[in-house]
Amino acid sequence: MHNAPDPAIHSPAMSPKLAPLLNRCALASLMALGAVLPLQAAPLQAMHQQQQPAAFDAEVDAFLKAYWALVPEAAVAAGEYAAAARLPAPTAATRQAQLRFCEAWLQRLARLDRARLTPAQQGDLALLQNQLRGSIWSLREFRSWQWDPSEYNVAGAFGELLNKDFAPLPQRLALIERRLQQVPAYYRAALAQLHEPSPEHLRLAIQQSEGALATFATDIPQAVKEAKKRLPATVAQRLARHNAAAKRALRAYIAALKALDARQTATGTGRSFRIGQAAFEAKFGYDIQAGVDARGLYERALQHKEALHQRMSELSDQLWPGLFGDAAKPAERLDKIARVIDKLSERHVSPAGYVDEIKAQIPALAKFVEQHDLLALDPTRPLQVRETPAYMRGVAGASISAPGPLDPQGATYYNVDPLDKYTPEEAESYLREYNHWVLQILSIHEAIPGHYLQLLHANKSPSKVKALFGNGAMVEGWAVYGERMMMEAGWGDVDGKPSPEMWLMYSKWNLRTVCNAILDYRTHVLGQGQAEAEALLEREAFQSKTEASEKWHRAQVTAVQLSSYFAGYSEIMALREQLKAQRGAAFSLKDFHTEFLSHGSAPVKMVSELMRRTPR
């Protein structure tokens, strides 16, 4: 997912980047995605009696059919609309049904003869089992349904139904009307689940819920107006009535959250946003699925930070004379780098030109990728730059909302937060952070060849499991890897030579990826406070005060997700270099990219095992 500060994919409860993108909605998010129905009494057939790969594919289909009925929000995000009219309320009974579902399917999958499956199917099986176990841990141990009210937000699926052209608008409005009738019960149940929520998550929920009001106050009425000639007057009136009731329910939920916030502030109650070492390591294991644990990644990030500082110092020495003439350099390495970055950051677009500049970058990036034969594009699936919907704001300043694998014709959106929330001084700070060079890297990360292209390829994967239940570290890691790959291919070169300005700013951006992992671990495991966090970000990562403040907020309301960038990136780079050494002259960068992305959004560790098995 990134917070005005980071590239991110958005998800319903903002796994930043958290967008309701199923590739980022693991089964571990069952609770965040909403309530479910009890597991139907489908016979648990012993798959070990059918030991054929085709039988596994049939079992996957059976799982998905049950899952879509269980979690309609995830179905809509994936492009499956059969259950789109349902909005189950998040109750205690729902959680028990979720647990029964996970336990039943773990038992069912355990009956498979793993040795008779193909390597790709073995990966699918491992992925499903990890997600089911992670869901059980989340429901029983992590219990964020109790302390994170930002998980309860119905606007995402309504937005999907409004914006996706999978059916004529009157038919989509019929689904919306049925969902609207369930909104009051949903928010009553959500409020009943909360017990001493974290103040930080509580305030995020208030902010995002207030943004969600626009769905009912503006978006749905506008859609009804557009369909007026095709809707009977009685239907339009009924829709308006249910929409008004849903809006009142959301307003009541917001009012209750504000009252709860006031009570907790007055009494000093509410749980800490920090999840602690045990939960962090467990969540890291289920979410990241890397070849290293959380502590190991933290130590790797510290080493990489030092290497980046050394490289940035050398680039600063190269740029100093042209920027400052004979002026003496600061004795301290970090001070010298900061002076050079600060001077270069004066070059940036105006607030009014921010979105237009991003729009202009997309065709230029696409042309570069084609000219350098880095990866196949798909001109039939254009990228649309838009203002981030209000209900998605508060965690990431830019993100991608991609269609699910079951909606191949759906639009992909590059969401950009407007800058109108900032004072002139804050906007200047923000634009210095996203200066002439960094804004290009942002679009590489979010769009081409980053999230946009990766998700296009993932949605074409022959593995439904890997495409639907994607790994966030792989998704984010690819976007970070894409930045490095474009730089190596010559993006930003001047007169055919590497640009030290571009490489310095790229290094600063890459340092953000590294410091995300450091910040994440220090915040939730080592107990670092705001002053220490902002010192890391401003002093050692050269981020602006606005950027550092917003990143600290993001570190509080997410856990583990900030580690995903560096985890995925470092493992992709290691795999590429290993295969390059093994294959020698036969190694092709485009073939590597195509093969890597063909495995959907599977964990990098799993993709590495599959690619190393592939004969060459």
DSSP helix, strand, coil percent of the chain (3-state; round to 5): 70, 5, 30
User: In the predicted model, is pLDDT for residue 50 greater than 60?
Assistant: no
Sign of dihedral through CA atoms 606, 608, 610, 613?
negative
Q: What whole-number distance in Å separates Cα of residue 148 and Cα of residue 196?
A: 9
**What order of strands is seen across the sheet that includes strand 7-9?**
7-9, 398-401, 412-416, 383-387
Q: What whole-number distance in Å separates Cα of residue 387 and Cα of residue 410?
A: 18
551-590: per-residue pLDDT in tens? 999 999 999 999 999 999 999 999 999 999 999 999 999 9
Are 178 and 112 found together in one domain?
no
Q: What whole-number distance in Å separates Cα of residue 558 and Cα of residue 547?
A: 16
- Tokens in use for 352? 């009014």
- Tokens in use for 17? 């980047």
Which has the closest alpha carbon to 191: 251, 137, 275, 244?
Answer: 251
Q: What whole-number distance in Å separates Cα of residue 333 and Cα of residue 307?
A: 13
pLDDT at position 616 is 55
pLDDT, mean of residues 141-164: 94
43 inside domain: yes
Q: What whole-number distance in Å separates Cα of residue 435 and Cα of residue 199?
A: 33
pLDDT at position 23 is 33
User: In the predicted model, is pLDDT for residue 41 greater than 50?
Assistant: no
Q: In whole angstroms, how far apart are CA 284 and each of 31, 182, 502?
A: 18, 34, 33
Are 204 and 227 found together in one domain?
yes
Instruction: Name the domain boundary from 267, 285, 304.
Output: 267
Query: Count H helices, E strands: the chain?
Result: 27, 4
5 inside domain: no
pLDDT, mean of residues 166-185: 96
Which has the closest alpha carbon to 331: 351, 313, 307?
Answer: 313
Count of structural domains within the chain: 2
User: In the predicted model, is pLDDT for residue 47 greater than 50?
Assistant: no
Are 29 and 137 found together in one domain?
yes
pLDDT at position 13 is 30
314 inside domain: no
Are 68 and 131 found together in one domain?
yes
Are 222 and 188 found together in one domain?
yes
**Domain interval for residue 27:** 21-142
User: Which positions ≥6 away from 363 have C-beta within 8 Å?
Assistant: none
Are 49 and 160 found together in one domain?
no
User: Which positions ≥6 away from 234 have C-beta within 8 Å?
Assistant: none
- Tokens in use for 38? 């009890």
597 inside domain: no
| Residue 270 CA, distance from chain mean position | 27
28 inside domain: yes
Which stretch of 33-42, 154-163, 324-333, 428-437 has the lowest confidence by average pLDDT?
Answer: 33-42
Instruction: Name the domain boundary from 248, 267, 286.
Output: 267
Are 119 and 183 found together in one domain?
no
State residue 82 phi and psi, 5-degree precision. -60, -35
Of 531 and 6, more confident: 531
DSSP 38: P
Are 127 and 157 found together in one domain?
no
Half-sphere exposure (Cβ direction) of 372: Cα atoms closer than 13 Å: 17
279 inside domain: no
pLDDT, mean of residues 515-527: 98
Are 43 and 65 found together in one domain?
yes
User: In the predicted model, is pLDDT for residue 536 greater than 60?
Assistant: yes
Q: What whole-number distance in Å separates Cα of residue 107 and Cα of residue 318?
A: 62
pLDDT band at 399 (very low <50, low <70, confident <90, very high): confident
DSSP 330: P
Half-sphere exposure (Cβ direction) of 212: Cα atoms closer than 13 Å: 28
Which single residue is written with the structure tokens 């991609």?
Answer: 402
Number of CB atoms found within 10 A of residue 378's CB? 11
User: In the predicted model, is pLDDT for residue 346 greater than 60?
Assistant: yes
pLDDT at position 215 is 95
Question: Maximum CA pair distance of the chain?
Answer: 80
pLDDT, mean of residues 344-355: 94
Are 31 and 120 found together in one domain?
yes
Q: Tell me the pTM.
A: 0.87
Yes or no: say if 595 and 580 are a contact pair by the CB < 8 Å rule.
no
586 inside domain: no
Instruction: Name the domain boundary from 267, 291, 316.
Output: 267
Are 226 and 175 found together in one domain?
yes
pLDDT, mean of residues 500-515: 97
431-476: per-residue pLDDT in tens? 999 999 999 999 999 999 999 999 888 878 888 898 888 899 999 9
pLDDT, mean of residues 20-42: 33
573-591 CB burial, b ≥16 within 10 A, e <16: bebbeebeeeeeeeeebee
User: In the predicted model, is pLDDT for residue 49 greater than 60?
Assistant: no
Q: What whole-number distance in Å separates Cα of residue 56 and Cα of residue 475?
A: 26
pLDDT at position 615 is 55
- Assign 68 to helix, strand or coil: helix
Report the alpha-carbon angle 467-366-390, nearest 5: 65
- Which residues, listed in sequence order, are joined to residue 413 by a DSSP beta bridge? 384, 401
Are 138 and 155 found together in one domain?
no
How are beta strands 412-416 and 398-401 bridged, if at all?
antiparallel
Which stretch of 221-230, 245-254, 303-312, 313-322 has the lowest confidence by average pLDDT?
Answer: 221-230
Mean pLDDT of the chain: 89
pLDDT at position 498 is 96
pLDDT at position 39 is 32
pLDDT at position 228 is 86
349 inside domain: no
Determine which helix (DSSP H) or strand (DSSP E) holds 415, and give its type and residue range: strand 412-416
- Tokens in use for 16? 């930043």
